[in-house]
Amino acid sequence: MHEYSIVQSLLESCEEHAKQNEAKEVTKVVVKIGVLSGVEPDLLQTAFDTFKEHTVCHNADFIMNIQKIMIECHNCNTQSELEKNEFSCPKCKNTDIKVLDGEDMYLMSLEMN
């Protein structure tokens, strides 16, 4: 499960940010997870809960914002959020589209003390 390595990287980043800001602990970690990122939110939550012990995140809340697929149609220049993984423009049904968001995972914010 690559969620474990993702969480280890995330916790290292949290440690680094806490150190840079002279914080004793991280109280909240907020991430954005795209539905096409390949990250399984339930597994990520389990991995975070497992590995946060003995880190600056030991009491941190882990908030996951799930990002749907955002596209831009090259035919009608419309930006849309897809409800399903049907890769066509909801407005004109054209399949000549560009994915704008929903493919990645980002650390959005940290709250620290």
Which residue do the tokens 């914002």 mark?
65
Cβ contacts of 62 within 8 Å, gap of 6 or more: 29, 31, 45, 48, 49, 52
**Looking at residues 24-46, what average pLDDT do you find?**
96
Domain that holds residue 78: 2-112
57 is in an annotated binding site: no
The CATH number linked to 44 is 3.30.2320.80
76 is in an annotated binding site: yes
Q: List pLDDT tens digits, range 50-84.
A: 999 999 999 999 999 999 999 999 999 999 999 88
14 is in an annotated binding site: no
Q: Which of the four pLDDT bands, split at 50, 70 and 90, describes residue 85?
A: confident
Number of domains in the chain: 1
74 is in an annotated binding site: no
